[in-house]
Structure formats: structure tokens, C-alpha cells
């Protein structure tokens, strides 16, 4: 008999219970790389927004 509970597979026999739980061995631990990536994306977005606002302000100043 087997059952699944919160992503853990339990398999029972008449005598013992085997637990097959997922491990994190195959998942890379790149937290610093992820943080740098997201901060650079945020900085790029901020610069692009600033340039767009500056261009809109300059365009409205030229029209008046």
C-alpha cells in the first residue's frame, strides 16, 4: 500500500514503512545570482521609466 502526503510518498509493507521524500540535491543554490539579476532588472526598468518621463516632459515643453 502507498499514499502521498504533502509531496512525500509513503510505501508500506507488512513490516516496514519506506519514505521517499524529495531532496534538494538536484536544485542549484544560486541566490546571489538571482538577487543580482532582479536588482539589475529593476535598475534597468527604473532607467527606462526615467528616460521615458524625461522625453515626455521635454516634448510637452517644446509644444508650449
pLDDT tops 70 at residue 32: yes
- The DSSP H or E segment spanning 25 is none
> Which pLDDT value is given to residue 4?
52
Full 3-state SS string of 3-18: EEECCEEEEECCCCEE
pLDDT for position 55: 95
Comparing CA positions, the residue from 64, 2, 35, 32 lying closest to residue 10 is 2
**What does pLDDT average to over the chain?**
79
Tell me the per-residue pLDDT of 6-28, one tens digit each, with 9 for 90 and over. Answer: 555 555 555 555 666 677 777 77
Delimit the domains of the chain by residue range.
Answer: 29-64
* Cα dihedral 4, 8, 13, 17 in deg (nearest 10): -140
Evaluate if pTM is beyond 0.85.
no
Amino acid at each position: 500500500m502507498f499514499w502521498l502526503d504533502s509531496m512525500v510518498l509513503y510505501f508500506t509493507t507488512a513490516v516496514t514503512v519506506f519514505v521517499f521524500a524529495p531532496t534538494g540535491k538536484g536544485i542549484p543554490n544560486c541566490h546571489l545570482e538571482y538577487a543580482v539579476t532582479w536588482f539589475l532588472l529593476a535598475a534597468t526598468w527604473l532607467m527606462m521609466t526615467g528616460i521615458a518621463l524625461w522625453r515626455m516632459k521635454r516634448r510637452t515643453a517644446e509644444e508650449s
